[in-house]
Amino acid sequence: MRDCVKFYIDGRWVEPVGTGKFEVIDPATERVAGQLRMGAAEDVNRAVTAARRAFDTYSRTTREQRVELLQRVAAQFEARKADLQAAVTAEMGCPNWLAEQAQVPLPATHINVAIELLKTYAFDHLSGITMVSKKPIGVCALITPWNWPISLAITKIIPALAVGCTMVWKPSEFAPFSAQILAEIMEAAKVPPGVFNMIFGDGPTVGAALSSHPEVDAVSITGSTRAGVEVARNAAATVKRVHQELGGKSPNVILEDADLEKAVASGVRYMFLNSGQTCSVPSRMIVPRSKLEQVVAIAKATAETLQVGPPDSGAFVGPLVNASQWNRVQQLIQKGIDEGATLVVGGVGKPAGLAQGYYVKPTIFSDVTNDMTIAREEIFGPVLAIEPYDSVDEAVRIANDTPYGLAAYVHAGTLEKAREVGSRIRAGQVCLNGDLDLLDPHSPFGGCKMSGNGREWGAFGFEAFLEETAYVGYQPASAAS
């Protein structure tokens, strides 16, 4: 049993004001794995007050001081890698191999990228007679989900620290174990009191209090579109910046001349990675109708090689995070059947031999049309929809016919063709002829439409926590000419 019963506020572990309790269930066994205390509005106020008090000093630290701080964080993160891997497995049933190869190494990469960027990042530039200076925006509320709990937190916390902001972080109540370790890392790295604060709680209580707090200057949330809308609504009265990285229903357009085996197989593997619980996965495979039969055969064969099982079994697919998510995915699979899609593999119910745990059969539907529920809604589980098209123009239309715009994927026989079709798709990130290893931590990550606004990763992550001040007349007009 793991207990997360204290909050980290103003450089100390403190007793919460809130009295609510929450049991964390191990998704692989359905047994209680730990408990945490849930915060109240007064906990939010304590944390925000500490962050506001610390901002005046921390915002004026030098670049060199912040580089040294991030280097200390990186060292402490490295020292706690094994603990983080065990935590993310316990709280979300993540396969051991995925924790070791992705859930923990990816955030470590983002920390190191931020350190190198900070050393040379241009906070000031002259424009005529005006000096434009990028300043830390202030006290930031950071709200993160459970599906990539370490990575999604680090891509907010580290850029905010890098540019001189202070923060209050609310991790998901479903992923508190890794969050507590991250707070311990910040403590061990000697982040100044009040600069980093962490409180547990749910969205309606702690999330709402954070996003509406008048002393919070910016909110950065990664989560569902529903949660993003609520944060924006709560933040509106105080006219603060709201950065949202939300849901997705990403198209994977495979063209006639693509390497079909590679494109389909990689698309299936990526869709089922992390049990399909990733907002940017290619959940709609859009393929030439003339090759639909071949595509379905490859997709089915690939899916049947992907074992489902407990974290320590070597399985590719683990459980979903909780019972609520499992029930929702089951309902959507049944909806696909009811609406007439062809079930290729998988279906409702648990995989054979896995009676305990929130396991889902990796499921593929074919003959999906874009008006079906499984083509419209973000399922957030291992469910792939294959949609046929008759022309490239129709493929692009299908790809863009979605309220979301987070990511997209294009596979073609040549990079030039992939670029051409990719340029026509509305998404924040378009991956061209890529496999599972296509990842650039320097690239901007974020979406358009109902997938949110703003960008994270690399230098773009810094800019989410900066605002410009123009010093007009900084340089005499004669010198500027």
Q: Is 4 a catalytic residue?
A: no
Q: How many residues in the chain?
A: 481
pLDDT at 370 exceeding the cut of 70: yes
What are the extents of the domains in the chain? 2-246+447-470, 251-432
* pLDDT tens profile 186-241: 999 999 999 999 999 999 999 999 999 999 999 999 999 999 999 999 999 999 99
Pairing verdict, β 7-9 and 12-14: antiparallel
pLDDT at 153 exceeding the cut of 80: yes
**pLDDT at res. 472:** 96
**pLDDT at res. 478:** 74
Instruction: Give exposure, 39-76, as e/b (b: 16+ Cβ within 10 Å).
Output: bbbebbebbbbbbbebbeebbebeeeebbebbebbbeb
Q: Is 431 a catalytic residue?
A: no
pLDDT at 480 exceeding the cut of 70: no
| Mean pLDDT value of segment 407-416 | 97
- Write down the mean pLDDT value for the chain: 96
* pLDDT tens profile 442-451: 999 999 999 9
pLDDT at 109 exceeding the cut of 90: yes
pLDDT at 60 exceeding the cut of 70: yes
**pLDDT at res. 401:** 98
pLDDT at 150 exceeding the cut of 70: yes
**Residue 421: φ, ψ to 5°:** -70, -40
Architecture of the structural domain at 251-432 = 3-Layer(aba) Sandwich (3.40)
| Mean pLDDT value of segment 297-310 | 98
pLDDT at 80 exceeding the cut of 90: yes
| Mean pLDDT value of segment 62-89 | 98
pLDDT at 481 exceeding the cut of 90: no
Identical fold between 2-246+447-470 and 251-432:
no
CA 359 to chain centre: 22
Residue among 279, 387, 431, 463 flagged as catalytic:
279
**pLDDT at res. 437:** 57
**pLDDT at res. 438:** 65
| pLDDT confidence bin for 313, thresholds 50/70/90 | very high
| Mean pLDDT value of segment 335-359 | 98
**pLDDT at res. 267:** 96
| Mean pLDDT value of segment 441-469 | 96
Residue among 245, 378, 387, 463 flagged as catalytic:
245
| Mean pLDDT value of segment 139-145 | 98
Question: Is domain 2-246+447-470 in CATH 3.40.605.10, yes or no?
Answer: yes
What's the whole-model pTM score? 0.96
| pLDDT confidence bin for 439, thresholds 50/70/90 | confident
* pLDDT tens profile 372-388: 999 999 999 999 999 99
Q: Which residue reads 């005006």 in tokens? A: 130
| Mean pLDDT value of segment 425-442 | 86
pLDDT at 477 exceeding the cut of 80: no
| Mean pLDDT value of segment 425-451 | 90
Q: Which residue reads 């529920």 in tokens? A: 373
The most distant pair of C-alpha atoms in the chain lies apart, rounded to whole Å, by: 80
